[in-house]
Chains A and B, each alone.
Chain A
Amino acid sequence: DIVLTQSPATLSLSPGERATLSCRASQSISSSLAWYQQKPGQAPRLLIYDASNRATDIPARFSGSGSGTDFTLTISSLEPEDFAVYFCQQPNKWTRFGPGTKVEIK
């Protein structure tokens, strides 16, 4: 099974700063990676699909890159509403989701 790892587990930043989140796959998944944002008490929301495509209505400050085994989600300038947990996900059954990175206010 393909396993996803995310780093760091927690990222402490201030509004306006740049956030860089990493997701690594245990074997190549080409560009088949998605990113989600989850806020407390809410369902995850799709941000990025196919590694670099923004989902509908996702602001341009969110961008994704990478292929193969190494992927990055970048938030160019953190807004107050961006403090949340971010998960990466690959399509292979059944170990699809990474453990998450919490972006917290410094």
Chain B
Amino acid sequence: QVQLQQWGAGLLKPSETLSLTCAVYGGSFGDYYWTWIRQPPGKGLECIGEINHSGNSNYNPSLKGRVTISVDTSKNQFSLRLSSVTAADTAVYYCARGRVSGDFDLWGRGTLVTVSS
């Protein structure tokens, strides 16, 4: 059974860089879009960006060039970096497996990232 396990720092100061990693266990990267999604407390879901096994990535323009998603296929992992964080970046961050059909069939458990001085 394929599982996603994610980790990373949960408390950051303004202007620091958020860094999270998601590992894929029990399966390969295959023909999926490995995606980061976030959810501010009490709010809805926002796609941050995605990457495929070839390293081709796409990012939400609303994040204005602060995002980098990378992949390490040798470790079956993909990572998120979000620079210059502010309080508005406080959210639960999820990694997810996106299918060609456009939906997300597998999710990590989520990491609460709080940005506070």
Contacts and interface: CB of A to CB of B under 8 A. Distances in A.
Interface size on A, as a range, is 20 to 34
Contacts, number: 59
A96 B45 CA distance: 8
Interface of B: 44-47, 58, 60-62, 94, 96, 99, 101-105, 107-110
A87 B47 CA distance: 14
Nearest to B103: A34
Contacts of B104: 34, 36, 44, 46, 89
Contact of A32 (B47, B94, B101): B101
A43 B60 contact: no
B101 A50 contact: yes
Contact residues of A: prevailing secondary structure: loop
Most buried by B among A50, A87, A94: A94
Contacts of B61: 94
B101 A46 contact: no
Contacts of B102: 32, 34, 89-92
A43 B105 CA distance: 11
A86 B23 CA distance: 27
A55 interface: yes
Contacts of A42: 109-110
16 contacts: A32-B101, A34-B102, A34-B104, A43-B94, A43-B96, A50-B101, A50-B103, A56-B105, A89-B103, A93-B47, A93-B60, A94-B61, A96-B45, A96-B47, A98-B44, A99-B44
Contact of A97 (B46, B58, B62, B105): B46
